[in-house]
Amino acid sequence: MHGRPIVISGPSGSGKSTLINLLFKEYPETFGFSVSHTTRKPRPGEENGIAYHFVSNEAMKQLIAEKRFLEHAAFAGNLYGTSLAAVDHVINMHNKVCLLDIDLQGVRRVRESGLQARYIFVRPKSLTTLEERLRSRGTETEEAVQKRLERAKDEWAYGMDPKNFDHVVVNDDLDKAYTDLRDYIFAPQKSK
């Protein structure tokens, strides 16, 4: 098994969280998640340093200026980011392989940061399937579903270009997709 971080990306609703949760469940000692920073207020029950590193707007901007983030983005009026230190913590303090669930915008930045990661794109069979899943998950308003679909169209094109990812998982049948992901992650790696 390689110690390099694994970046898992794909359109909203493609099944990233589902697949990542299966990996954590089967291999709790192997994989770890980095704790992101955010400027949003903690929700009840969210502990600082566990759910997120909760920081002020000023502190976040300072960290961005100091180039402490692998990637950062604004979402719904708040800033979010994955710090180098958070990834480092998973690798060196917990001795685990760091899994990163990052949107495609973020993937471009992570690549630019030079992080030696493995990049995996998760997608459903078609955009129609994606739409069905987003609706049946029932977590988004119609407006949010539309927004996610719009964005998914761009992401689709980026994800379909083989030079952008080391591996693509087509999440049609979940068991097969999970096996494919697991086999790829644990396979002896060819040097690229």
Ligand X SMILES: Nc1ncnc2c1ncn2[C@@H]1O[C@H](COP(=O)(O)OP(=O)(O)OP(=O)(O)O)[C@@H](O)[C@H]1O
Q: Which of 109, 133, 148, 151 is catalytic?
A: 148
By CB under 6 A, residue 174 contacts ligand X = yes
Q: How far apart are CA 153 and CA 7, in angstroms?
A: 20
Query: What is the closest distance, in whole angstroms, from the C-beta atom of residue 140 to ligand X in the complex?
Result: 8
Q: Are strands 31-33 and 97-101 parallel, antiparallel or unpaired?
A: parallel
Distance of alpha carbon 86 from the chain centroid:
14
- Between 5 and 124, CB nearer to ligand X: 124
Token look-up 């998973």 returns 90
Query: What is the closest distance, in whole angstroms, from the C-beta atom of residue 191 to ligand X in the complex?
Result: 29
Q: Is 148 a catalytic residue?
A: yes
By CB under 6 A, residue 13 contacts ligand X = yes
Q: What is the DSSP letter of 147?
A: H
Q: How far apart are CA 41 and CA 21, in angstroms?
A: 25
Query: What is the closest distance, in whole angstroms, from the C-beta atom of residue 45 to ligand X in the complex?
Result: 19
String of contacts with ligand X for each residue 41-80, x by CB under 6 A: ----------------------------------------
Q: How far apart are CA 129 and CA 123, in angstroms?
A: 10
| 110-114-117 Cα angle (round to 5) | 70
By CB under 6 A, residue 82 contacts ligand X = no
Q: How far apart are CA 180 and CA 187, in angstroms?
A: 10
Q: Is 109 a catalytic residue?
A: no
Q: Is 123 a catalytic residue?
A: no
By CB under 6 A, residue 133 contacts ligand X = yes
| Residues known to be catalytic | 43, 137, 148
Q: Which stretches of the chain bind ligand X, using CB under 6 A? A: 10, 12-18, 133, 137, 171, 174, 177
